[in-house]
Amino acid sequence: MTRNILLSTLLTISAVLTANARPSEDSGAAKHFFEKALKRQQQKKYEQAIALYRKAIQLTPSDAMYAYAIGTAFQAKGDIDTAIGWYRRAVELDPGNKDFPKVLAAATGLRAEPLQGGCLMKFDNRKLQEAIRMYEKALALQPNASLWTNLARAYQASGQFQMAREAYEKALGLEPLQEGENMYFIAVLDENDGQGAKALEEYREYIRSRPKGYHASAARKRIRVLTANVHAVLRLPIGPEIDQSH
């Protein structure tokens, strides 16, 4: 979300809320600081705008508009982390507002994007623990199924199999169609844990849901082996190459 869009949204919401506001001595003074802050922000004098927004917030700390406004100023000057904090505050103060969550989601997306790119680079360079930490940070900002799957891959590659299984399950729970291949990896991990009977049922479930899936051939092979001998489990290697074909 660009600075101009943020400012335009801010001006629109401000006009609506001002029209419906109930005047008081504090709100009048706060509005004065707020309007001065808006002018400073339009002039791209972000530090001055932030100082004035803070004065408005001190007078009326429960005003969601002021929390949102100072967030836009922080974002405009490049401090996305502080902006996210203020957007969250705005959502808390006015949960019925439809614009605040959209801005919050856009800001957290911007914050998570470089982390996701860094995660992939760390994973490709086999710096698995660093990749895991970065995925965890990205998930804290913007949880989604794809990130959970990538975190699971990093856990699995580093030998943290139980953590990997839990992450695959979370991704599968969020997006069962998009992340359906995760059922195969869950079966692989359970087989690695010596749970042949459980893995066999999971391989079968994977085939039922994805008969032409990317790992369908490998899953059918494991079904044949485990059907003949449920104790003939296969152990996993540890490393970044986790696309198991068995």
Domains of the chain (ranges; CATH) run 3-109 (1.25.40.10)
Which of 170, 6, 154, 135 minimizes the C-alpha distance to 75?
A: 6
Reply yes or no on whether the pLDDT at 239 is more than 70: no
pLDDT of residue 1: 47
Q: Say what the alpha-carbon torsion angle 220, 148, 178, 215 is, to the nearest 10 degrees.
A: -20
pLDDT of residue 229: 97
pLDDT of residue 16: 44
Which pairs count as long-range contacts for 52-58, CB under 8 Å and 24+ apart, including other chains?
Answer: 55/30, 56/30, 56/31, 57/30
117-126: string of b/e by CB count within 10 Å (b at 16+)?
ebbeebbeee
Reply yes or no on whether the pLDDT at 45 is more than 80: yes
pLDDT tens per residue, range 54-95 = 999 999 999 999 999 999 998 888 887 788 889 889 999 999
Tokens linked to 234:
């296969």
Per-residue pLDDT band for 222 (boundaries 50, 70, 90) equals very high
Query: CA 72, CA 87: separation in Å to the nearest integer?
Result: 8
Q: Does pTM top 0.85 for this prediction?
A: no
Reply yes or no on whether the pLDDT at 245 is more than 50: no
Of all residues in the chain, what percent carry a pLDDT higher than 70? 79
Q: If you average pLDDT over residues 187-213, what whole number do you get?
A: 95
Q: If you average pLDDT over residues 203-227, what whole number do you get?
A: 95
209: burial class by Cβ within 10 Å (0-12, 13-18, 19+)? middle
Query: CA 30, CA 243: separation in Å to the nearest integer?
Result: 59
Of all residues in the chain, what percent carry a pLDDT higher than 90? 48
Amino acid type, 101:
P
Per-residue pLDDT band for 127 (boundaries 50, 70, 90) equals confident
pLDDT tens per residue, range 192-202 = 999 999 999 99
Where on the phi/psi map is residue 44: left (φ > 0), alpha (ψ -120 to 50), or beta? left
